Every structure is written in C-alpha cells, then in structure tokens.
Amino acid sequence: MRLMPIQFCQPGMKLGKKIYNEDGLVLLSEHIELTPSMILRLEQLGLRYLYIEDARTDDILIPELISEETKRESMYEIRKNFRELMNQPFSEKQSAYPSLGKNFRKVITNLIDDLSSHEDAMIMLSDINSTDFYLYRHSLNVCIYTVMMALSKGYNSEELNTIALGALLHDIGKTQIPMEVLLKPDKLTDEEYRIIQQHTELGYRILKDEANIPLLAAHCAFQHHERIDGTGYPRGIRGVEIHEYSKMIGIVDSYDAMTSHRIYRSAMMPHQALEILYTGSGTLYEQGMLELFRDRIAIYPIGVTVKLNTGAIGVVVDLNSTSPQRPIIRILYDEDGQELSSIYDIDLSVKLNLMIVAVLTGGV
C-alpha cells in the first residue's frame, strides 16, 4: 500500500487501512472502493493522507505499535474524562476529579505493554487514519511517542508509568480553555495567546493534588512548554530546572503538533518537522534528547513516495532502525519519470551513493 495525499486520491482506488471515527469505531474498512462523496467527506473530517492499495506495493505492511483494542479503549477514556472536565470548570476548593488517575491506570498499563513488545520499532505517524478531535488524538500520540523514547532510555516500571501518565495528560489544562480560542482558525491575538498559555498552569492545578497521580506527572503538564534557554512558559525556567520528563514531552509535543493537521495549517511530513526541531538544538531543546528522538522516528514513513538524487522515484517499503534516514525503497519510476516494467528494491543503508532528495506529495 501507499500513503497518498487525499487530494490525489481518485474514485475507484481502494483503502489500504481502516479509517476510524471519533468514537474509535471503524468508519471505513480496508479494501473499500472510494467514491467521490467518500473522498470529499474524509477531507471534510480533516484527513489529509490515505493509505491506498497498489498492486506494486501490496506486500507493504504498516506496523501498528498498539492494538486496535488498546487504541479504542485509550481514546474512550481520554474522550470521556476530557469531556467531563470541559463540562465541569476546575475549582481548587475541592478535589473534583478523584477518579482521574484510576480511570487512566489500565490505559497506561496496556499502552506500555503494547509498546514494550515493539521496543525496537520506529515511531510512525499515529493519526493518519483517525477523524477524532485534535486534543484527544494529540494526547494519545504524545503518550505513545514519549513511552517509546522512555523505553530507549531504559526507564524502570515506575518511571515509565509516571512519564506515560504525564504525557497522556500533559494538555489536560486545555479542557479549561474556551473553545472559541482553542479552535480559532485564524492567528491568535496577544490576549488569546495568553489565555492558551494558561493551560500549563491549569493542568498542573488539576493534577497536583490527585491521590492517584504522581506529582511528577503534574509537573509534566506544568513544564512541557518550558525551554532550556529560558524562553518558554509559564515560568521561563532554564536547563536543569526543567525536569527530564518535561524536556522529553516538550520535543514530542512540538513534533506531533507539526505533523498533525490543524485548523490553521496542513500537516508537515516527519523530515520537515525534524528539521524545524533541530533549529532549536541546544537552545530550545537538549541536543542529546533530540538525537534520541531522531533515532526512534520514521523520518520517511513506510508507504511514502520519495525521489532519489538520481531522479528515480519509489516508495518506502521498510525501515532501517540503525539508520532511520536511509530506508529501503522500491523503485517504480526511472530517472526520466518512466514507469518501470520490472520494479526493484534498494537498501539506502548499503547504497551510500544514493539519497532521498524529496518527499513527493503529488499524484505519481
């Protein structure tokens, strides 16, 4: 299968992967033949890429880091608890959410169990085939990416559970931000931006006194927008003043925001987002953590179409975990753009004279 921008998907093409609705249920199954109305509706729902069946790449399998059941249960708990918070304004006068930590305990356990069984896997784009509200998807994505980094760091069980919970709930303060500000499609005013920034403190205040939530998890909500040069918020703290968990979540939070479709801009591809993250290496983010993250993400996801320095065009069919920037490519078109009658695979970790020069988002 191939990953194609939705604007280049044509009626008659068949889905390569299921599409899930906002309740985590299957909206469209794989092998379904797309119609004009389906494509239009999926685009309206915010999907920008679809996995499409292709006879030349029908052996390509997209690995799933978490099971359908784990994803469905995780999204259910996130959606249920976040909606309750949206409908019940936060008050420090009494503990209004005593079951919050308990509600997510099974979710965290299942996520860690699933991800631990794929400890050497590369992090793929997580929300390509989901139509759910951004805040819910983002919370789950950040948790998945962070746990994969934490596994690489060799954290013990207690540390994994704490950082996973902190990552899952890092944006919980946004449940207290007015929807007209949170979902505004235009540029925020200075006052609206100050309102958005309040989500870090609100998240900390919601979580800090809950018996079933470690204080460090609350600090993940508090500090994930702090930056090592002191330019972050809410307190402008620097370097070692920022907890390691928060530094890690800060990188992942920025990456997922850039690679997700937003109301005000389209999603970036992973290599573009990584380039932007690296402009902040040593200033916004610790270089060592950026390198750890870089080595765990699929910079060129399986199924994406790429162009090589020779001019040849192909599809990423597999990843090299030891060299994520040099995946295995199935060459479909020669350097003159002519479709090959006999396709073949090239391992870029072996063919060092070849390199990817572009990710194609057109209709090749």
User: Does residue 364 lie within any of the structural domains?
Assistant: no
Inside any domain, residue 114: yes
Are 33 and 171 in a shared domain?
Answer: no
In a domain, 299, yes or no: no
On whether both 215 and 262 belong to a single domain, the answer is: yes
Q: Are residues 180 and 78 in the same domain?
A: yes
pLDDT band for position 98 (50/70/90)?
Answer: low
For the ranges 88-102, 236-250, 285-299, the lowest mean pLDDT is seen at 88-102
Task: Specify whether 193 is located in the same domain as 267.
Answer: yes
Nearest to 71 by CA among 3, 166, 139, 11: 139
> What pTM value is reported for the model?
0.89
In whole angstroms, what is the distance from residue 110 CA to residue 76 CA? 14
Q: What is the CATH number of the domain that holds 265?
A: 1.10.3210.10
Regarding whether 179 and 76 lie in a shared domain, the answer is yes
Predicted local confidence at residue 320, as pLDDT: 87
If one counts the domains in the chain, the total is 3
What is the rounded distance in angstroms from the CA atom of residue 255 to the CA atom of residue 270?
Answer: 8
Within this chain, do residues 257 and 201 fall inside the same structural domain, yes or no?
yes
State which H helix or E strand residue 110 sits in.
helix 100-116
- Domain edge (last residue) among 10, 31, 57: 57
The answer to whether residue 300 sits within a structural domain is no
Q: Do both 38 and 170 map to the same domain? A: no
- Alpha-carbon distance of 69 to 77, in angstroms, equals 12
Residue 269 lies in a domain: yes
How do residues 116-139 score in pLDDT, each as one tens digit?
A: 988 767 776 655 555 557 899 899
Q: Are residues 254 and 312 both part of a single domain?
A: no
Residue 111: pLDDT over 90: yes
Q: Is residue 63 part of a domain?
A: no
For residue 345, give its domain range: 305-359
